[in-house]
Amino acid sequence: MSSRPPYAPDLSKGVLIVDWPLFGELSRALALKVARAWNPEIVVGIATAGVVPGAAVAAILDLPFYSILVSRRYSAERVRATPAVFGAAPTEVRGKRALVVDETCGSGDTLRLAVASIINAGAMEVQTAVSFKTGAFEPDFHALATEASIVLPWDREILVGDDLRPNPKYAGMLGE
13 in helix, strand or coil? helix
Helix (H) or strand (E) holding 61: helix 51-61
pLDDT band of residue 170 (cuts 50, 70, 90) is confident
Report how far residue 75's alpha carbon sits from residue 168's, in angstroms, rounded to the nearest whole number: 19
Dump pLDDT digits (tens) for 90-113.
999 999 999 999 999 999 999 999
**pTM of the predicted structure, to 2 decimals:** 0.87
CB atoms within 10 A of CB 3: 5
Q: Which amino acid is at 38?
A: W
Report how far residue 128's alpha carbon sits from residue 44's, in angstroms, rounded to the nearest whole number: 10
